Structure 1
Amino acid sequence: MSKSLNRRRFLSLAATGAIAQRFAVGTAAAQAPTAWAGLVQSVIAEGQRFDPALVVEAARVLSRRPMVPLVATDLPEGYATLPYDQYVGIRAQSSGMIWAGENRGFTVEPLHRGYVFSSPVSLFTVEDEIVRRVAFDPSKFNYGRVAPPPAGADLQFSGFRVSAGLERPYELALFQGATFFRSLARGQNFGAVARALILRPGETRGEEIPFFRAYWIERPSAAAGMLIIHALLDSESVTGAVRMTLRPGDVTFIDVEMTLFARANLDHVGFGCVMGTYLSGPQSRRGFDDLRPAVHEVSGVQMLTGNGEWIYRPVSNPANLQVSSFQDSNPRGFGLVQRERDPNAFVDDDQRFELRPSVWMEPLGEWGPGSVQLIEIPSESELNDNIISYWRPRQPIAAGSETTIAYRQAWCWQPPERPPLATATRIRQGRGSQARRRRFLVDFTGDRLGDAALVAAIRANVTATPGSIQNLRLWPYPERRTMRVAFEVDPGSETLSELRLVLDAGGQPVSETLLNRWTW
């Protein structure tokens, strides 16, 4: 089992990074101080005592100036067009690893620029409370088949990789490209990717992609068991200070605290964004000729609403772009989850989709009214992160305002807070008994479904809007703690139907609420 970022996942991230390049996330010549660097240096000077409030102040100062549009011009010839296999051959030597051999529980590997990752990032450490710049030094890299850059070049970095553990270190997290980062729980493979901030996704006017200009990484102690990272965010419409606290384990928690300074009105902003891949599976097929029965690293969106309702919405690979909004107020949790953990469901000994993490967001504090947004993008390739989920506040963020938000991410096998109800463990669909009907089979599983007396009282409440439900049947299997629900949806002349299914007994829910959308 490989825990490293494999080629498919790397290309997926790189493809997203390539989008960022089109939004001018680059650099002026590193040898000459840029305008933003001068502003930041005036607030957080190398060698001074570090305070997290300084990153907030740097973002505030930066927000008072227009974003500096930067163009990557300082990379050695050919670095921006390096083939994948040559780029990944550039790795830091042991002498270039930060805190290697110090038994601090974490090691940081600076990542070289090149390939689609041509945008520069400044790296700093905080040691003994003092800011120290991580200087770029070509002698601390192995270049493989690539010619090293000229001596004296200061290329900065494209990001960094974090390894955790003392006796058997493993790759824990990767920060590279725009505001993208990813992590995993112990025993997992890299999968879904998070974004610190998302602006205007899926809109015809175009997405705006924020990016990190600099990181300050606090030197950890082995006893603390956590790594604290500060980052300076910039974009045409907003700047921000982000603090991330990583705590690895059987569940890896990342606490994210963000202070934003809006340069312009932000009428479509997203927090707690996660992206993942869904190509095909029993719940959504578009005729892919693939020997694998399923190809996906996320299976659905799970939500715990402000009023305590547990909702699950399986995702799909639609024929056309779909955007869904799940209205709520003060959500208690949401995220993209991978519910399928049986390797036989995928039959893929290379990708091992059953080992990909679920990513659960727990808002810290009250977030007010808004919606969990789900964007499903048509895809013909498993390289694409075509599923996007995030929280969109109803109230726009006004230009000139300061906004703070905090949440806890859990990179996990299943969310740490789980419904005390039966959950949808299998969802299948196929053609129905008539031309425009669709037949669904849903298996709910939970401990209470082993109670024969309770099972006898269970009813399935199913609705289709628009449309009607036909041929509804229930098959109880108490010995397997499972209830199977079968039904057909007849949409009439409509081309889209929203489905809602919940099991109840005596007016009380026995299962989570399953939502689904079917288009003809």
Structure 2
Amino acid sequence: MSDHSIHRPGRRAWLRGLLAMGVAAGSARSLSAMASEAVDAETGLELGTAEPFSFETLIQRAEQLAAEPYDPPPRPASEAIQSINYDAAGKIHYRRDMALWRDGPSVYPITFRPLGEYFPKPVAMHVVAGDQARPVRYRPDYFDMPSDSPLRAVPEGTSGIAGFWVHRSRRTHDWFEEEPWATFQGASYFRAVSETGQVGMSARGIAVNTAGEQEEEFPDFRAFWFEPAASEGEPVVVHALLDGPSVTGAYRIALRSRGDTEIEVEKHLFVRKTIDQLGIAPLTSMYWYTETPNVHLRGWRPEVHDSDTLAIWNGAGERLARPLVNPPSHGYSAFADQNPRGFGLLQRDRDFSHYLDGVGYEKRPSVWVEPLGDWGEGQVALVELPTNDETFDNIVAFWQPAGSQLAGSALTYRYRLYWSEDEPFDPDLARAVSLRAGPGGDFGKPRIADTVRLVIGWQGARLESVDPEEAEFRVEASPVGEISNVRVRQVAGHPDRWQTEFDLHVTEDAPVELRGELRVDDEPVAESWLYQYHRQAFREVMP
């Protein structure tokens, strides 16, 4: 992918300078050249000397960096920065008149985010014009903040910038007063909005050993390069350099705002140290509880979650839906595949009355991953961690290529992320929209111990054209579970809504894998339903 004979000395020094001072890559600049730099008239920012830049040279830099020992990013004024909690951060505001492209040429202004308790590592920012890039030099006066703000403890010559926001069009919106439509901050995390304008779950540049035996790593986007979008139909192109103990990467990220958000990613990865579990296109979300029983503490709201379903469109063309769970202990599920067509974490329940909360859970975006090109063999992995509150994300989904990724290897992936209300390629199939539970057995008869009745709600126009009397729900359980009393019925007065139910008898605490298919004349009329049942979580409804 690049010339292995390229001269490598000084690459670690280049990275340290890039991160600490925001200078362009590898430049041996004189003091007189530095002194001649001034505030850029077009951007209002203090910019460094222009350097040649292209995505190809960034790929080369990432490859060269992987050949060097890992050098962690600096954490300037770490004690002071750790004191920038939620309240302290709320008093730090980026100045509108200091926004990149506040007057053009890009239609989408960009503002920068300060260091803080959860974002203690500075990130270098660059502005691209043609084949040249200039580094943004940090100045405290970019921010309005109290005279005693901990951010003022950042030493001179060190950056206090941790991330950035991409704002609405300056031509059609009051962009500074409205919420941004894309944000990048913290390790390799980023978020965007759907047409509802609400943020929710996050994507990541990479996931490393999220559920493996090796220690999990969180590589960082160490630097960004911005290309302007001259019109609302053009993307904002962001280039990013990723660095971590086991992997480096060069990213080209094209962001489009169309009410919903589309983000196209091309990434070139270089493995520094063998990785047992590499996660491509990782999605990160929060699931506390729904109407499905669980043993975790519940709050005053009926449901609390950013996402409720993992959906998969596998390489064989089958559509799968796996409701999320809040497990009693760490959970890991893998769905083997070859050349997947897509997967995503979805927020399917859009009914405000199911949340009764002003934070807009019913408006949280779903995020769908569309692979571009063949991804080969691997699996869609789902990690579910137990939680007792909504503070931290506890759900991760990603594509895991087959096998370990060996040190010295290089990988390239392209994919598109859709931030919308639902998956963008909706099939002519009913969807699983709810899961409820109660005691198993028949009414008027003694309840059966260790038996729960699971009721799945289905919805879709496809159901209006078929007869529920001719339908069959085929449900299977892993060996420790026994299935009985399977039924299918239409919800009275709603021809597009059906329910399937069955009893599940389980006497062990081991997780039970369930799979159900709703068919008419042996043809599927709904997506395949998957679920991981935890007996401990359903004890409150057990006979």
TM-score, reference length from structure 2: 0.85
Give the conservation status (yes or no) of the 8 Å contact 1:361–1:407.
Answer: yes
1:435 is displaced (CA, Å) by: 2.0
CA 1:282–1:347 in 2, change beyond 3 Å: closer, same or farther?
A: same
How many Å separate the matches in 2 of 1:43 and 1:283? Answer: 61
- Partner SS, residue 78 of structure 1: helix
Task: Render the CA deviation track for 1:475-495: whole Å, top value 9, x for unaligned.
Answer: 124743111111110125563
Alignment match, 2:72: 69
Structure 2 residue identity aligned to 1:419: P
CA 1:497–1:34 in 2, change beyond 3 Å: closer, same or farther?
A: closer
- 1:370 lines up with 2:350 in the alignment: no
CA 1:436–1:48 in 2, change beyond 3 Å: closer, same or farther?
A: same
1:47 is displaced (CA, Å) by: 1.1
- Partner SS, residue 481 of structure 1: strand
- Partner SS, residue 97 of structure 2: helix
**1:18-167 aligned within 5 A:** 40-41=25-26, 46-72=49-75, 74-75=76-77, 78-102=80-104, 104-144=106-146, 146-147=148-149, 148-149=152-153, 152-165=156-169, 166-167=171-172
Give the conservation status (yes or no) of the 8 Å contact 2:304–2:355.
Answer: yes
Return 160-169 or 362-371, whichever deviates more. Answer: 160-169
1:501 is displaced (CA, Å) by: 1.0
Structure 2 residue identity aligned to 1:425: V
1:145 is displaced (CA, Å) by: 6.0
Give the conservation status (yes or no) of the 8 Å contact 1:96–1:110.
Answer: no
How many Å separate the matches in 2 of 1:307 and 1:238? Answer: 31
Return 227-236 or 261-270, whichever deviates more. Answer: 261-270
- 1:403 lines up with 2:411 in the alignment: yes
1:116 is displaced (CA, Å) by: 2.5
Structure 1 residue identity aligned to 2:207: I
1:112 is displaced (CA, Å) by: 1.5
Return 496-505 or 326-335, whichever deviates more. Answer: 496-505
- 1:506 lines up with 2:515 in the alignment: no
**1:155-304 aligned within 5 A:** 155-165=159-169, 166-168=171-173, 169=175, 170-222=179-231, 224-304=233-313
Task: Render the CA deviation track for 1:323-347: whole Å, top value 9, x for unaligned.
Answer: 0011111100001100000000111
Task: Render the CA deviation track for 1:224-277: whole Å, top value 9, x for unaligned.
Answer: 431000000111111110110001123211001100111122221001101111
1:79 is displaced (CA, Å) by: 2.7
Using the aligned pairs only, state the percent identity: 31
How many Å separate the matches in 1 of 2:97 and 2:16? Answer: 24
CA 1:86–1:492 in 2, change beyond 3 Å: closer, same or farther?
A: closer
- 1:413 lines up with 2:417 in the alignment: no
- 1:325 lines up with 2:310 in the alignment: no
CA 1:259–1:485 in 2, change beyond 3 Å: closer, same or farther?
A: same
Structure 1 residues not aligned, in runs of 5+: 1-26
- Partner SS, residue 188 of structure 1: coil
1:496 is displaced (CA, Å) by: 2.6
1:113 is displaced (CA, Å) by: 1.5
Give the conservation status (yes or no) of the 8 Å contact 1:215–1:230.
Answer: yes
Alignment match, 1:392: 400
- Partner SS, residue 161 of structure 2: coil
- Partner SS, residue 41 of structure 1: coil
- Partner SS, residue 132 of structure 1: strand
Structure 2 residue identity aligned to 1:330: N
1:127 is displaced (CA, Å) by: 2.1
Give the conservation status (yes or no) of the 8 Å contact 1:284–1:317.
Answer: no
**CA-atom RMSD, angstroms?**
2.6
How many Å separate the matches in 2 of 1:394 and 1:284? Answer: 35
**1:481-500 aligned within 5 A:** 481-493=496-508, 495-500=510-515
How many Å separate the matches in 2 of 1:353 and 1:34? Answer: 36
CA 1:325–1:260 in 2, change beyond 3 Å: closer, same or farther?
A: same
Give the conservation status (yes or no) of the 8 Å contact 1:43–1:58.
Answer: no
Give the conservation status (yes or no) of the 8 Å contact 2:99–2:111.
Answer: yes
Structure 1 residue identity aligned to 2:478: T
CA 1:179–1:352 in 2, change beyond 3 Å: closer, same or farther?
A: same
- 1:431 lines up with 2:439 in the alignment: yes
Match of 1:449 among 460, 463, 470: 463
Task: Render the CA deviation track for 1:190-248: whole Å, top value 9, x for unaligned.
Answer: 11011110000123432011111110011221254310000001111111101100011
- Partner SS, residue 245 of structure 1: strand
- 1:341 lines up with 2:350 in the alignment: yes
1:284 is displaced (CA, Å) by: 4.1
How many Å separate the matches in 2 of 1:251 and 1:233? Answer: 26
Count residues with an aligned counterpart: 491
Give the conservation status (yes or no) of the 8 Å contact 1:376–1:388.
Answer: yes
TM-score, reference length from structure 1: 0.89
Give the conservation status (yes or no) of the 8 Å contact 1:56–1:259.
Answer: yes
Give the conservation status (yes or no) of the 8 Å contact 1:75–1:155.
Answer: no
Match of 2:361 among 349, 353, 372: 353
Structure 2 residues not aligned, in runs of 5+: 1-11, 30-47, 441-446, 536-543
CA 1:367–1:35 in 2, change beyond 3 Å: closer, same or farther?
A: same
1:144 is displaced (CA, Å) by: 3.4
How many Å separate the matches in 2 of 1:34 and 1:151? Answer: 13
Say which one has the larger Rg. 2
Alignment match, 2:473: 460
